[in-house]
Amino acid sequence: MMLLQTAINQFIPVNVRSYIMSRLKSYFFGTVADVSSLVTLTIPEFWENMGRNKLYDAVKEYLPSKISSANKNLRVGMGGGKKIAMAIEGGESIVDVFDNIKLTWTCSHQKDQQQQASTDFFSRRQPIPSPTQSDARPMYVLSFDENDREKVMDSYLPHIVNKYNAMKKGKKVLKHYTRTSGVWQSSVLEHPATFDTVAMEPELKNAIIDDLDRFLRRKSFYKRVGKAWKRGYLLYGPPGTGKTSLIAAMANYLKFDVYDLELSGVHSNADLMMSLRNTCNRSILVVEDIDCNSEVQDRSREDGDRALKRQFKRFTLSGLLNSIDGLWTRSSEERIIVFTTNHKDQIDPALLRPGRMDMHINLSFCTVNGFRILASNYLDVQSHPLFEPIDRLLKKLQVTPAVVAEELMKDDDADVVLSRFINFLERKEMGGDGMKDVGDENEIPLCRSNKIEIEDDETKIPPSRSKKIEIEDEDEDEDFNDDEYEDEYEF
């Protein structure tokens, strides 16, 4: 064999040997030319350190429309209880035809794509094992002929993105994302709250809607003034005043997905930054009960020991501030950031300044108008003789909308429910049980006021004891000015 190999190398030219080897490969393993001209594109769920891959989301929505009777291995499920969804399973392929080009899609995992150890000419390719690790991330693989590379890159992939955008505009299923082990997990957002059902003062509700509408239509304005296209809201007030319901109403009104971020699960500034990078545009980032996190509490009140401990924390307030309005936000669009708190005065002023929390919305105890909305929602009653004594009691007591809603659910008969509710309020008026009497009719306590503060100055605005809404009315043709109020309305 050694003499034969030496003789072949000496007397047979290289070109002839290459031709003979190619013919042998064709005989044993098929046409080599077909394999060598095949181009493969891998589309992972996350693009290295740049966050979520938008092309992956587009392909994920596009491919189910190409499933045919030839596909025998499928994955099915039902989202939102409305429609059965299908997707290809690992190992299954979908053939798509675009402009007379044949394209083959497969679903795979990152751990599948390992280099095969054997390069021996006569060894057969071993089957690729399926992933068993829970951290294997899904991805799509597109295969096509080398001659069609330019058309695929310039026409086919943009075609998929355009189809995806059209589907989102047509009918979007809202998603609620929660963070588990550093990865966002999604579920269908089915919260029924809308601005029609949220129990709050009409002027307060209209002011929020007007601000959201103005935010949506000002893309060119934000770009012209050099600001990131985002808006920050702080919802503060006692527990049970409807902060979560208002967030759901905002999501349903804007058709934005919701990302629920729990700061206690964030281990470092880098972890927080990566989590925010993996969120999508047209979304609401929610951080509830932010006052419960020691890192965002007012630093002017802390003692020396607490300040020293803060220095050794991996997750810091500066990291949160940079994540909210740092350089990464310049590449994101149509973002809403909502913080909720029961104690606004405990939060560090640096987090509350304009540009981070643009609107401060006080959600307080149930008012007469709020009760009317709840009565319409739960009892389908718009007017009733018992409304008058209820209004009188609500003006004297501090009762949260959550408590009122619970009382209205105790019976189906409106007369019975309203009578029991009056007795409930009278007992509270006589015995207290945590609900305070207003006292002086000429003084409206702070906790009963529904207020929006739009702060455009770093000077902290003292809390007002009147029902007040300050609304910033910016016009696209006017210069952007963060240092003055343009319109102020008193209610």
pLDDT score at 286: 93
User: Residue 154 gets which letter from DSSP?
Assistant: I
Coil, strand or helix at 410? coil
Q: Which DSSP category does 46 fall into?
A: B
Is 130 among the domain residues? no
Q: How confident is the model at residue 423 (pLDDT cuts 50, 70, 90)?
A: very high
User: Can you tell me the distance from the alpha carbon of 341 to that of 409, in angstroms, rounded to the nearest whole number?
Assistant: 27
- Would you say residue 474 lies in a domain? yes
pLDDT-based confidence at residue 485 (cuts at 50, 70, 90):
very low
Whole-model pTM? 0.62
pLDDT at 70: 79
- Burial call 143-152: b when 16+ CB within 10 Å, e when fewer: ebeeebeeeb
Match 């207020």 to its residue by tokens. Answer: 451
Query: Is 212 in the same domain as 286?
Result: yes
Backbone angles phi, psi at 50, to 5 degrees: -95, 5
Whether 123 is covered by a domain: the verdict is no
Domain-embedded: residue 15: no
Find where tokens 């012209």 sit: 224
Q: Are 304 and 356 in contact (CB under 8 A)?
A: no
Between 129 and 424, the more confident residue is 424
Of the listed ranges 54-63, 121-130, 148-157, 389-398, the one predicted with least confidence: 121-130
Q: Is residue 118 part of a domain?
A: no
Q: Is the Cβ–Cβ distance between 346 and 298 less than 8 Å?
A: yes
Q: So what's the pLDDT on residue 477?
A: 44
- Judged against a pLDDT cut of 50, whether residue 125 lies above it is answered with no
DSSP string, 411-439: -S-HHHHHHHHHHHHHHHHHH-TT--B--
pLDDT: which is higher, 8 or 256: 256
Q: For residue 445, what are the contacts with CB-CB under 8 A and spacing of at least 6?
A: 398, 438, 465
Cα(59)–Cα(68) distance, integer angstroms: 16
Rounded to the nearest 10°, the torsion over CA 81, 86, 89, 95 is -170
Pick the range with the lowest mean pLDDT from 11-15, 104-108, 196-200, 302-306.
302-306
Q: How far apart are CA 443 and CA 25, in angstroms?
A: 93
Q: Note whether 157 and 195 are same-domain residues.
A: no
* Residue predicted with more confidence, 443 or 248: 248
Domain co-membership, 266 together with 405: no
Q: CA–CA separation, 197 vs 253, rounded Å? A: 12
* Count of domains observed in the chain: 3
∠ CA 277-279-280, nearest 5°, is: 115
d(CA 377, CA 382): 9
Does residue 387 lie in a domain region? yes
Residues 315 and 392 reside in one and the same domain:
no
Range from 91-105, 304-318, 325-339, 369-383 that averages highest in pLDDT: 369-383
Longest dimension (CA), the chain: 113
User: Is pLDDT above 90 for 209?
Assistant: yes
Higher pLDDT, 351 or 105: 105
For 223-230, what is the mean pLDDT? 87
Distances (CA, A) of 285 to 140, 462, 486: 28, 27, 28
Is 282 in the same domain as 300? yes
- Which run of H or of E encompasses 139? strand 138-145
Q: What is the DSSP letter of 129?
A: P
**Range with lowest mean pLDDT among 27-31, 368-372, 405-409, 470-474:** 470-474
pLDDT at 305: 54
Asked whether 429 and 462 are in contact (CB, 8 A), the reply is: no
> Of 381, 403, 431, which one is at a domain's C-terminal end?
431
Enclosing domain of residue 424: 368-431
State whether 39 and 142 are in the same domain. Answer: yes
Residues 292 and 309 in one domain: yes
Instruction: Please check the confidence at residue 85 and state whether its pLDDT lies above 80.
Output: no
Percent of the chain residues topping a pLDDT of 90: 30
The answer on 94 and 198 residing in a single domain is no
Assign 174 a pLDDT band (cuts: 50, 70, 90). confident
Range 295-317 average pLDDT: 55
Residue 68 domain flag = yes
Amino acid (one-letter) located at 280: C
Query: Both tokens of residue 218?
Result: 């000002």
Q: Is the pLDDT of residue 464 over 90?
A: no
Same domain, 328 and 236: yes
Between 165 and 117, the higher pLDDT residue: 165
Mark whether 68 and 153 lie in a shared domain: yes
DSSP element (H, E) containing 258: strand 257-260
Q: What is the CA radius of gyration of the chain?
A: 31
Q: What is the CATH number of the domain that holds 198?
A: 3.40.50.300
Per-residue pLDDT of 237-295, as tens digits, reads 999 999 999 999 999 999 999 999 888 888 888 888 888 888 888 899 999 888 776 65
Instruction: Identify the CA nearest to 104 among candidates 143, 69, 71.
Output: 143
**Rounded Cα distance, 173 and 257, in Å:** 9
345 in the same domain as 276: yes
> Is-contact 251 257, C-beta < 8 A?
yes
Please tell me the predicted confidence (pLDDT) of residue 348.
Answer: 82
Evaluate whether residue 436 is within a structural domain. no
Question: Per-residue pLDDT averaged across 17-46, rounded?
Answer: 71
Residues 314/268, Cβ–Cβ less than 8 Å = yes
From residue 24, alpha-carbon distances to 4, 21, 28, 159 in Å are 18, 5, 6, 41
pLDDT of 363 reads 92
Q: Are residues 342 and 374 in the same domain?
A: no
Q: Which of 436, 449, 440, 363 is nearest to 397 (CA)?
A: 436
